[in-house]
Structure 1
């Protein structure tokens, strides 16, 4: 079956998630600009699995985080406009619209979770550089993985139920 293109407006929930993601993204950039001049020349550039800084680099490297987060957000926003190009396990004529909405919502949730995590990492990296924190925290990696994988599995389960 050729997957049809269907114009589905964004749900209110998707609009709210996008607004939250954009606020966090813009807020992290504004905060970075605000504190940038007062940061030391060397800042944490990488954290290990325990959330401890294990490599230090130039404070210019802090710009990599918002660039990656913003780039992923834009890419996933673009891709979510084409749910008819995604792979589905059980797409049928009677569930096409529901499957497309589920897939698009999954992309929306994931992209906003990612940009929020990148905002948090930017903030925490600045705090470590200023000496206010010691790292991301030991819970960061398990929480990040639980949120991203949990969301993915949730939407995959929904796809199978539809």
Structure 2
């Protein structure tokens, strides 16, 4: 298939629900940031090492970077979600094209929303550290984050390969 058709495949209930949850978390994140802004010290955690310990402090204005990055990433991935005909496939045929498009779109949906949720968690934890209510992201954060992210990718890749 050199020229792939554009199929109109409605979003699944799962995709709609995950988008809704991520949107609500994003709005709560921005709301929380606005509420605590006046209480934040001038310096807040700006970077963490692989063990989740703060290894650089920066201006509280740096806390605005994660919501901005999340917003840009979400818009970009949502745009790509709408165009599964642009994605790369290993075994695309006329009989499995609808499944493959939906599977690829769901992969992007999951990655998009997981990234937003993880960025929100990092921002929340950074605020907690800045306010003296926590000391780090936690040692388990990085392995959990990577496990969920790569586990999700593996799940959808395996589904794609199995559906020849």
- TM-score tier, shorter chain, comes to over 0.9
Supply the distance in 1 between the matched residues of 2:136 and 2:26 (Cα, whole angstroms). 21
Alpha-carbon offset, residue 4 of structure 1: 1.1
Structural RMSD (CA): 0.6
Q: CA deviation at 1:135?
A: 0.6
Confirm or deny that 1:17 pairs with 2:11. no
1:115-134 CA deviation, whole Å, 9 max, x = no partner?
Answer: 00011001000000000000
Distance 1:66 1:131 in 2: 22
Matched, 1:6 2:7: yes
Q: Deviations over 1:59-90 (max 9, x none)?
A: 00000011111111111111100000101000
Q: Distance in 2 between matches of 1:132 and 1:121?
A: 14
Cα separation, 1, equivalents of 2:115 and 2:103: 18
Report the TM-score, using the length of structure 2 for normalisation.
0.97
Q: Which sections of structure 2, spanning at least 5 residues, go unmatched?
A: none
| Pairs aligned (count) | 162
Kindly report structure 1 stretches of 4+ aligned residues shifted beyond 2 Å: none
Deviations 1:121-150 (A, max 9, x none): 010000000000001000000001001100
The structural deviation recorded for 1:151 is 0.4
Cα distance in 1 between the residues matched to 2:71 and 2:124? 15
**Residue 58 of structure 1: CA displacement?**
0.3
